[in-house]
Amino acid sequence: MTSDTVASVELRVDDLVATLWHAAGGLDPAAPIVLIGHGGGQHQAHPAVTGRARMCVEAGLNAAALDLPGHGSRPTSAGDSEFVAELQRRMKAAESVADLVAAHNSLLAGQAVPEWSALLDRLQRNECANVERVGFWGLSLGGALGLSLAAHEPRIAAAAVGLCGGDRLLELAGHVSATVQFVMQWDDEQVARADALALFDAIGSQHKTLHANPGRHLDVPIFEREAAVTFLARALASSEDDS
């Protein structure tokens, strides 16, 4: 993606290819960087990702992303195919998909954590970014990744996440100390309301805030994208001691 305001470059990270977005005028390695985790079935070049990357760059932040396992150009596993088949079966039968989605997303997120840590190492090695205080932005599968990464990776200082739940994330949440903005949908057919509230409650961070809106999984209001960028820019610019 190259435009009047945003430029992107590819970075090799072990066997993977990441995207780094920065201002078209040139990369400022001192600007805070936000890692963007895509949703289930998406990838790093999906408009939902590139649109967020543009918003970050326009707010003075750099951004970077990888494909999650089984997504984009990466091979699909037998488990991925079984997941999709079972998901489609349950949706046709109008059965609950919450446990199934939570388990699969947590599995992929756990596999992805070392890959996104390697991305941070790569950015640091090439002096592409200040990786001491990094942001994360992602919902659903991307939200599961964000909380899993924040639980394992002290360089994540702020995470705009949400639309996720389940037992595995609930166990990890207590290990998160990054400032978190958590978005949930009040009538989410993929995450039970009580599960989302319990996950927010379990997040160990001193600074966390919950945004909830009516509607289903895909009905997150547009204004939450602006709210996420505002949150990330504020949290990465300060120590949050004054919030």
Enumerate binding residues for a second copy (CB under 8 A): 186, 197, 200-201, 206, 208-214, 221-223, 227, 234, 242-243
Asked if 149 and 156 count as a contact pair (C-beta separation under 8 A), the reply is yes
| Nearer to a second copy (CB atom), residue 67 or residue 188 | 188
Least spacing, CB of residue 178 vs a second copy, in Å: 14
Question: What backbone torsions phi and psi does residue 22 show, to the nearest 5 degrees?
Answer: -150, 175
Amino acid at 196: A
| Nearer to a second copy (CB atom), residue 81 or residue 186 | 186
| Nearer to a second copy (CB atom), residue 43 or residue 234 | 234
d(CA 136, CA 153): 11
| Nearer to a second copy (CB atom), residue 45 or residue 59 | 59
Beta bridge partners of 27: none
Least spacing, CB of residue 191 vs a second copy, in Å: 15
The number of CA neighbours under 13 Å toward the Cβ of 197 is: 7
Least spacing, CB of residue 207 vs a second copy, in Å: 8
Least spacing, CB of residue 195 vs a second copy, in Å: 14
Query: Of the candidates 1, 84, 70, which has an alpha carbon nearest to the alpha carbon of residue 38?
Result: 70
Beta strands of 41-111 (E only): which ranges? 62-65
C-alpha to C-alpha distances, 234 to 111, 132, 200, 231, 237, nearest whole angstrom: 30, 16, 20, 5, 5
| Nearer to a second copy (CB atom), residue 100 or residue 212 | 212
Least spacing, CB of residue 161 vs a second copy, in Å: 15
